């Protein structure tokens, strides 16, 4: 991605994980294909998971003496028993590798989480491009249409800009975006893409976002 003048990143919130990609317009089809593939069939390699677990643990240790962080976690601990809000909010080496410190355990948990939550009806894709609207929608449908549906639920990809479930293209007003509007939103022909996986049952493991972004960066 860097060789093509782009950038990618990922972040995990309390209820969703977001993957972001920005790349010059001519490379958008290839980049979207890689992004869709990383979400449809992530490798989740043990070495990548282990590397990101260590990165998360380093961040945890850096924030350990931060009074604001400590107060935030203390407030979470006061939530009612069984509430998702009461769970450990960031993660460290102990929480992400299990009692035995096994990275394979972490990979297994990531795989379980992906299998449960990374499904079409739980995800949203947003793309801004200077390409004509229909071409952009076609690229989205090709890259993300094959994402697995929820069990027993048909997954659909909308190309009209306002009727589809999960994928579409629209202007800030909510109307279908014209190619002129899209071009005005893009700096020097760059395209941006974001995929958000919503997980209502539990927050995504912090390491999952970083590991998937790492795979995406290596693939494009």
Q: Return d(Cα 31, Cα 39) in angstroms, integer.
A: 12
What single-letter DSSP state applies at residue 147? S
- Under 8 Å between Cβ of 104 and 48: no
pLDDT of residue 190: 55
Q: Return d(Cα 213, Cα 164) in angstroms, integer.
A: 26
pLDDT of residue 213: 47
Phi, psi for 99 (deg, rounded to 5): -60, -25
pLDDT tens across 41-94, in order? Answer: 999 999 999 999 999 999 999 988 899 988 988 999 999 999 988 888 888 999
144 or 189, which is more confident: 144
Split at pLDDT 50, 70, 90, the class of 193 is low
pLDDT of residue 174: 42
Average pLDDT value for residue range 25-41? 93
Q: Please give the mean pLDDT across all residues of the chain.
A: 76
pLDDT of residue 191: 64
pTM equals 0.67
Q: Return d(Cα 172, Cα 158) in angstroms, integer.
A: 17
pLDDT for residue 142 is more than 50: yes
Write down all domains in the chain, each with its CATH number in brackets.
Answer: 2-219 (3.30.830.10)
């Amino acid at each position: 991605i860097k060789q093509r003048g782009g950038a990618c990143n990922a972040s995990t919130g309390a209820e969703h994980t977001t993957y972001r990609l920005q790349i010059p317009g001519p490379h958008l089809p290839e980049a979207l294909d890689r992004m869709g593939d990383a979400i449809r069939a992530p490798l989740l390699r043990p070495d990548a998971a282990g590397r990101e677990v260590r990165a998360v643990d380093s961040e945890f240790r850096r924030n350990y003496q931060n009074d604001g962080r400590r107060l935030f976690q203390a407030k979470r601990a006061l939530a009612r028993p069984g509430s998702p809000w009461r769970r450990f909010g960031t993660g460290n080496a102990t929480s992400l590798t299990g009692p035995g410190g096994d990275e394979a355990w972490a990979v297994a948990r990531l795989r379980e989480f992906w299998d449960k939550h990374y499904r079409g009806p739980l995800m949203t894709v947003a793309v801004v491009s200077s390409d004509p609207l229909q071409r952009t929608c076609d690229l989205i449908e090709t890259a993300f249409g094959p994402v697995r549906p929820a069990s027993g639920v048909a997954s659909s990809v909308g190309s009209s800009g306002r009727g589809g479930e999960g994928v579409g293209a629209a202007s800030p007003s909510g109307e279908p975006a014209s190619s002129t509007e899209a071009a005005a939103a893009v700096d020097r022909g760059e395209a941006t893409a974001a995929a958000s996986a919503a997980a209502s049952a539990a927050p995504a493991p912090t390491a999952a976002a970083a590991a998937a972004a790492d795979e995406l960066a290596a693939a494009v």
